[in-house]
Chains A and B, each alone.
Chain A
Amino acid sequence: EAGVTQFPSHSVIEKGQTVTLRCDPISGHDNLYWYRRVMGKEIKFLLHFVKESKQDESGMPNNRFLAERTGGTYSTLKVQPAELEDSGVYFCASSTGFNYGYTFGSGTRLTVV
């Protein structure tokens, strides 16, 4: 089966610009998660979708971040306006929810300059 696909793989934007990251989960996986790793630190949870609904968005840093999951399929994470501290690697993961087995995508490396 195809894995979790994220794009772009890299993005360099200027402070104040807008960036949209996309995640295509494994087909049939109702659960979709966004995580972020800032340089050298832990991978931090951002939010969790079950189908198209936000189950847990407790990790979203502020209202500059907007996540959507249209029709319960792919998801987008928009950062508007981007700040320097938003730089990091953004990971998406998906799961069936019937076990703890997440599958992660390869991540999007975001650099805000």
Chain B
Amino acid sequence: DTEVTQTPKHLVMGMTNKKSLKCEQHMGHRAMYWYKQKAKKPPELMFVYSYEKLSINESVPSRFSPECPNSSLLNLHLHALQPEDSALYLCASSQDRKGARYGYTFGSGTRLTVV
């Protein structure tokens, strides 16, 4: 299995809702990443998990809360989002953080719309 699976593919939520994005990989990778991508822009790093521990938080607002329950799963909990948070959210994984030199495997993303 050489895939990163993200669910849901599309999500529409109100500004008072709580929702979660899910990411799963079964490649034995020990580093996992959340990226945010706005239209016509490159992905922007949000969080990095290494061996299930948060190692990088790129000053992301607290309305985004990551969680890594085990080595295969990565969640992103969303609460009280703003319309400007609408974007494509991408999950990625790599062998480990040093293994990033071999590249990341990306999921297909969750298209989030905040209304």
Asked if chains A and B come from one complex, the reply is: no
- Residues of B at the A interface (CB closer than 8 Å) are none
